[in-house]
Structure 1
Amino acid sequence: MERPTVLVIGGGATGAGIARDLARRGVDVTLVERDGLASGTSGRSHGLLHSGARYAEADGPEARACLEENRTVRRIAGACVRDTGGLFVELEADDPAYFDAKRAACEDVGIPTRVVDGAAAREAVPDLAADVDRAMEVPDGVVVPSRLVAANAVDARDHGARIRTHAPVISMTVEDGRIATVTLGGDADATLRRPDYVVNATGPYAARVAAMAGADVEMRPTRGVMVSVEYPGLEPVLNRCREPADGDIVVPHDGEVVLGTTSVAVDDPDDYERGDWEIAETVRECAAMLPPVADADRVRTWWGVRPLYEPDEAARGGRGISRGFRLLDHADEGVENCCSIVGGKLTTYRRMAEATADRVCERLGVETECSTADERLPAASDPERLDGFVREFDGQGPTDADLVES
């Protein structure tokens, strides 16, 4: 029967990042995940490494955080990232005032941009739609999430953490205002007793896990479809320069592009409708930017569920506004040794992990500073070893199935 100092529940990018951060500070930590690593939101995204430009006019501080973490992840993650650049393209039907506002907001945030006319944009992307009036270059990139999550887990393990996959949390007990036991099923089949602290990093499942401890997390999970089609040779990420909507992003891989996405509220992140209309609309809208994808052969289709925090979504008006994160301390609800980290995005996973680890260390009296922004991930320059880590943790997700050696 293990008695971990800190138990982290959830093996996506944020959970693995928290385990890495805590382990590097010398904290005894166990990470548990109900399936393989990156099996949830992290491994079912479109894989965009945000420059911050998408959010610049809506939320300057969050856009700045994206830019800073974009640079950090590139520095520490090596072959977990592809440096593609990005283009925000304005079609003839799009409002030029929105383009101008985004460009000005990017300048205020410090996001490097360069505006080119339609002809120059089509030189860079020959199949770009004929009615592209102008485009704005931004430092977007592509994340290979299976590698990123696995590398974080390996670094955590190298610093003493225990990583337990296929170990779903079945139940918890609370005694005297503290989580006393956590029962694991699956391959683990164990009970963890009296952890000093428990971190709920389960994304869209955060409400379900918090409820086991008698805590309340208001979530508004939304589903989005991604469609991968055969299309070799695209270099930059393509973003439609308009108010965020369905089918406004094309993410390049080696011989494919990922088209995304939709946003539809779901009640259950495990059991939800997957509508054919979402696929058709996503392909149609992305083809407005890059016409050949309309008839390209489809390789795979998948849905992901965003871990959105209900109060923030209600306050911001829903889709299209920023995707910041929230760290919820359940001591306010009488559970002294538990917090939940919700919201956010893949690009800012490390910052989310740092904020959470800071809170945990404050509670434990640990004064060691965070080092995850400065230390490169294990095997960052060795794709074959990174893919070996993915296999070890059963971590392959659909986002990067064409990039990771199975």
Structure 2
Amino acid sequence: MVTQTDVLVIGGGATGTGIARDLALRGVDVVLAERDGLSAGASGRSHGLLHSGARYAESDPEGALECLEENRILRDVAGACVRETGGLFVQRSEDDPEYFEEKRAACEEIGIPVDVIDGDAAREAVPGLSTEVERAMWVPDAVVVPSRLVAANAADAREHGARILPHSPVASMAVANGRVESVTLERGDGATDGTSTEETIEPTYVVNAAGAHAGRIAAMAGVDVEMRPTRGVMVSVEHDGLEPVLNRCRDPDDGDIIVPHDGQVVLGTTSVPVDDPDDYETADWELEGTISECATMLPAVADAERVRTWWGVRPLYEPEEAEHGGRGISRGFHVLEHPDEGAENFASVVGGKLTTYRRMAEATADLVADRLGVDAACTTAERELTGAADPETLDEFVREFDGQGPTDSDLIGSPTPGA
């Protein structure tokens, strides 16, 4: 089977589905291919924090402002994909008070709303908060439900003409005369018996949005994209009643974020380089260290029942990491073209974070539209996502696209019995 299309997007996470939606809304014919179910990579294996920008305010003001702006947009357009919680940066007695003041000043300079409260007020807002917390700072963090967000973008793209193909890994690419001429997919379509068929896509343009696997996909097109993925552990434990996201107010380190869910909290995370995003070790010290460090903010989590544990792999871009390094640096994104490497109709979008996926998609779609001669503008910042107002509709999209990730499996509703 041979299919011709304007654009083939490879990768079914938030960025890939966001690109497909953006382009489809501009009237571009799009096919999206994902090797597994949607959200199988970093999007569905994150801690689910919708950043306010405060985490990066002093280290990367530009990236922090991007987070703030995208946070506000998603609250408007993503409906039940976002949970309004607020966030607290908490300072323990041993934490550097100058760091707290630097972060507050940086947030105020950027325009991130902050409200400083003393330890007693913080414990009133968060029952069980450590007695060692001396003060805290309210910021507009929130929680994102990534499985819903990705599925809603895919459904919206499909509603506007895109084809969404989960379980369709790239088998090969044919490159000639400086262009990717065709891409062959293995179409499993979720078959449990291992059977598959092949479909050859003949695209005018190809977008590589494969996250931590971007380097492997780029190599199939004969180009080089240097990735430097790192793994991070998340553990969900039983804990009822936490409302705001908790952030430790210190230089970013292991175990400094607690994300509230309904009756559970997600503790995270670590940052350990990996060579292969599909095959990497997981270490008990990451799990135990994350729980121990998070317990310095909320002591009850140390002995809480563990519900599930997972690791995610960040799609970090090697040149940026080599230049900046460090966990305090905002995870910026890059849209790379490859005409000098013999693939003039091939672009890779790398780096970034879940909070800024829509902006990454807009930048990529702007580039692709320009190369295709399409003059339609981006509208994703103003248009509500399909089904955003109805959690049941969103959860049905998740099931349809096999898009359930471990981050939010406790928040996605089960099918109605007999349905």
Structure 1 moving runs of 4+ over 4 Å: none
User: Does residue 226 of structure 1 match 2:226?
Assistant: no
TM superposition score normalised by structure 1: 0.99
Aligned to 1:248: 256
User: Does residue 361 of structure 1 match 2:369?
Assistant: yes
**In structure 2, what is the Cα distance between the partners aligned to 1:331 and 1:257?**
46
Give 1:275's match in structure 2, choosing from 283, 292, 299: 283
SS in 1 for 2:8: strand
Cα displacement string for residues 113-165 of structure 1 (whole angstroms, at most 9, x for unaligned residues): 00000010000012000010100000000000000000000110000000001
User: Does residue 303 of structure 1 match 2:304?
Assistant: no
**In structure 2, what is the Cα distance between the partners aligned to 1:156 and 1:319?**
34
Give 1:210's match in structure 2, choosing from 202, 206, 218: 218
Aligned to 1:77: 78
Q: Which range is displaced more, 103-112 or 187-196?
A: 187-196
The answer (yes or no) to whether the contact 2:187–2:199 under 8 Å persists in 1 is no
User: Does residue 321 of structure 1 match 2:329?
Assistant: yes
How far did residue 381 of structure 1 move? 1.0
Alignment of 1:150-161 (within 5 A): 150-161=151-162
How far did residue 193 of structure 1 move? 4.1
Aligned to 1:387: 395
SS in 2 for 1:336: strand
The answer (yes or no) to whether the contact 2:185–2:201 under 8 Å persists in 1 is no
Give the letter aligned to residue 293 of structure 1: V
Give the letter aligned to residue 213 of structure 2: Y
Q: Which range is displaced more, 151-160 or 185-194?
A: 185-194
Aligned to 2:136: 135
Q: Which runs of 5+ in 2 are unaligned?
A: 190-196, 415-419
User: Does residue 103 of structure 1 match 2:104?
Assistant: yes
The answer (yes or no) to whether the contact 1:226–1:303 under 8 Å persists in 2 is yes
Q: Which runs of 5+ in 1 are unaligned?
A: none
How far did residue 317 of structure 1 move? 2.4
The answer (yes or no) to whether the contact 2:17–2:32 under 8 Å persists in 1 is yes
Alignment of 1:17-32 (within 5 A): 17-32=18-33
Aligned to 2:8: 7
SS in 1 for 2:258: strand
**Aligned sequence identity (%):** 71
How far did residue 180 of structure 1 move? 1.1
Aligned to 1:181: 182
How far did residue 194 of structure 1 move? 3.0
**In structure 1, what is the Cα distance between the partners aligned to 2:319 and 2:215?**
13
The answer (yes or no) to whether the contact 1:34–1:168 under 8 Å persists in 2 is yes
Give the letter aligned to residue 166 of structure 2: T
Cα displacement string for residues 188-218 of structure 1 (whole angstroms, at most 9, x for unaligned residues): 6334343100000000000000000001001
Q: Which range is displaced more, 179-188 or 43-52?
A: 179-188
How far did residue 183 of structure 1 move? 1.1
Give the letter aligned to residue 237 of structure 2: V
Cα displacement string for residues 41-99 of structure 1 (whole angstroms, at most 9, x for unaligned residues): 00000000000000000010110000000000010000000000000000011000000
**In structure 1, what is the Cα distance between the partners aligned to 2:126 and 2:211?**
36
Give 2:208's match in structure 1, choosing from 185, 195, 200: 200
Task: Assess, with a 3 A threshold, how the Cα gap between structure 1 residues 47 and 193 changes in structure 2: closer, same or farther.
Answer: closer
SS in 1 for 2:69: helix
SS in 2 for 1:285: helix
Quote the RMSD (CA, aligned, Å).
0.8
Alignment of 1:19-98 (within 5 A): 19-98=20-99
**In structure 1, what is the Cα distance between the partners aligned to 2:314 and 2:140?**
24
Give the letter aligned to residue 21 of structure 1: D
Give the letter aligned to residue 345 of structure 1: K
TM superposition score normalised by structure 2: 0.96
SS in 2 for 1:58: coil
SS in 1 for 2:78: helix
The number of residue pairs the alignment matches comes to 406
**In structure 2, what is the Cα distance between the partners aligned to 1:193 and 1:302?**
34
How far did residue 318 of structure 1 move? 3.0
Q: Which range is displaced more, 55-64 or 325-334?
A: 325-334
SS in 1 for 2:232: strand
